[in-house]
Every structure is written in C-alpha cells, then in structure tokens.
Amino acid sequence: MILKFPLELDQRQAAVDHLLEIARRRAPGLVAGSDNPPPQPSGDVRLPAVAFQATEGDVPVYILAPRSLGSEALSRNVESIAQQGANLRVVHDPSEIQRDAQMPPLVLNWGGSEALPADLVAINPPDAVRIASDQVESTLRFSGIGRL
C-alpha cells in the first residue's frame, strides 16, 4: 500500500483518542448484539482457494509479540509465510521495526499492553486488544447464564 497523501499524525491521534474515549465509556463486560439477531446461514460455507501473491509494493507488516509470551510457533508460521514472499516479520520490541517514510509499516499487536510509538500504524492498538479480550471473557462468562 503506497500512500498518495502525507500522513498527518495529529489527525490520526485525534481520531484514536476519540475512539478510545468512546471505548472507555462502555461498561466493562458488555457484549455487543441484540435480543433478535438476524438469521444466519446454516451448514458449511466453502470459500474459493486463492493463492497468495506478494508484490513489491506490499506494506511491511510486523507482528509485535512481547518477550513475556511464548512466540516460537508464531515465529515458525510467520517464517513459512515470509518464505512465500510476504513482507512479514515477528519482532519483540517496537525499536526493531524499520521505519520508511515512503511506506509506514503496519503493526499487529500480539498481546502487548505497552503503548506504541505514535509513528507506527497499529492494526490493533493495546487498548483494542484489552477491549477484545474483555469481550471474549464476557462471552465466556455469559454463556453459562442461560443454564442456571
């Protein structure tokens, strides 16, 4: 992905701050949804096989895995994908991420809770990871309520 416009970090930060404020207002443990969910298709769904094809213009993607979490299997799987040409790496510290003004890297947070430097584009910032984890835990806790 090549940006055809300058990256304005102030606007990005303002948007992130606004989204975080909205997330903070949400009561912990609530699960999104409704009393009347729409009907879902039943049975197996087959998706067509699409071969991965890397291009030179692909944005680098860094998977940021904290040293406190075991990441050997993750590293092996990422390496097998990278051998197919993907611009994908596992790192353990934001300082290991190469910055290129032409193409800012994407960062996938693999369970870290530390704030990331402002010049990185995080697919899932630490607060999003915390919120998603909270929602999964809520789902697990609520799953037993109907059986009481």
Query: How far apart, in whole angstroms, are the C-alpha atoms of residue 53 and residue 55?
Result: 7
Report how far apart, in Å, the C-alpha atoms of 130 and of each of 29, 71, 123, 127, 135 are. 11, 19, 14, 5, 9
What CATH number does the domain containing 61 carry?
A: 3.40.50
Whether the predicted pLDDT of 38 surpasses 90: no
Q: Which tokens hold the place of 27? A: 């009561």
pLDDT digits (tens, 9 = 90+) for 63-90: 988 887 777 888 999 999 898 888 899 9
Q: Which domain holds residue 127?
A: 56-148
pLDDT digits (tens, 9 = 90+) for 118-128: 888 888 777 76
Contact 124, 132 (CB under 8 A): yes
Determine, yes or no, domain membership for 129.
yes
Determine, yes or no, domain membership for 46.
no
Determine, yes or no, domain membership for 20.
no
Determine, yes or no, domain membership for 105.
yes
Determine, yes or no, domain membership for 81.
yes
Looking at per-residue pLDDT, the higher value among 112 and 83 belongs to 83
What DSSP line would sit under 62-92, residue for residue? EEE--TTS--HHHHHHHHHHHTTT--EEEES
Determine, yes or no, domain membership for 27.
no
Q: Is 106 helix (H, G, I), strand (E, B) or coil?
A: strand
Determine, yes or no, domain membership for 44.
no
Determine, yes or no, domain membership for 10.
no
Query: How far apart, in whole angstroms, are the C-alpha atoms of residue 134 and residue 63?
Result: 21
pLDDT of res. 6: 66
Number of domains in the chain: 1
